[in-house]
Structure 1
């Protein structure tokens, strides 16, 4: 049984992740200059940097073609996630896909409109520095972690019933 309200809940979560990501990026972009850095704690800075590549600045210096490559991947993955969310899913699986969808669309929007992704969260500790990231990245990673947890739970209980929607 399909419940349209249940589907709307998952699509709404993706929209909230996308909107939160874009609101934060817009705020950083409008209120700070590129290259700006502000120490918040001894291990965390707010920054304003652009990433033309993917995670960990993968292919950042590739000459520009990577913008369209990563945008195409994000759009294909997003279409697949929308399709997945239209099917009956366990709640944690639907949560995973929703978060990944919102994050993928957030970074895809940046690539399409700005040409690069705005990153602003910068963590470091004792000489170890994590590359700057954003809310979209957190949604994607959170969704991926939830998907792994769902997978492990499914292994433990292979007869777990799918959520009815």
Structure 2
């Protein structure tokens, strides 16, 4: 079972990484030729943006070392999660680890190549405008959501303990 779980997480990471880098490579020339903006739906645009920081521009810097430092951190986090994935026995652990690893590596590689992370998905609803993001960001958020949902669920030991006190 553990080998299947490893394969699942690794496959997810590779698919996310390839999809993220491919969409960025496609969107840069397409959106540049389109003036940087394509309206898809009343609440979704494709808008070319570049992020020098991490999520929502935090830790943004014009330093020549910033892209390297942020990419290094992403590689360290990915290596740690890869070790967790290697020991995973449950599918949900492989899924969240694969999502986060693929997303983190996609943004880190983009940052090393261009010095910035390319964003292109722009959501705006009822006057609320979410910061522009990319597929790697979606994968990271989904992976973190799985971790949080898993953390809110009682463990098997807690369930057994509750059954013992009830019964």
Interval containing the TM-score (normalised by the shorter chain): 0.7 to 0.9
Rg larger for: 2
DSSP 3-state at the match of 1:33: helix
* Structure 1 residues 89 and 3, CA gap change in structure 2 (3 angstroms): closer
Aligned twin of 1:58:
58
Distance 1:112 1:41 in 2: 32
**Could you list the per-position Cα deviations for residues 39-66 of structure 1 after superposition, in whole angstroms to 9, with x for gaps in the alignment?**
1122111011111111111122443432
Q: Per-residue deviation at 1:106?
A: 0.4
Runs of 4+ in 1 over 6 A off after TM superposition: none
Aligned twin of 2:144:
144
Aligned twin of 1:21:
20
Deviates more, 1:2-11 or 1:75-84: 2-11
CA contact (8 A) 1:93 1:150 kept: no
What TM-score comes out, normalization by structure 2 length?
A: 0.86
CA contact (8 A) 1:10 1:98 kept: yes
What TM-score comes out, normalization by structure 1 length?
A: 0.87
Aligned twin of 1:100:
100
Unaligned runs of at least 5 residues, structure 1: 161-165
Distance 1:32 1:62 in 2: 24
Choose between structure 1 and 2: higher helix proportion: 2
Q: How does 1:113-128 map to 2 (within 5 A)?
A: 113-128=113-128
Distance 2:151 2:90 in 1: 11
Q: What is the count of residue pairs matched by the alignment?
A: 158
Aligned twin of 2:85:
85
Distance 1:53 1:100 in 2: 17
User: 1:32 aligned to 2:54?
Assistant: no
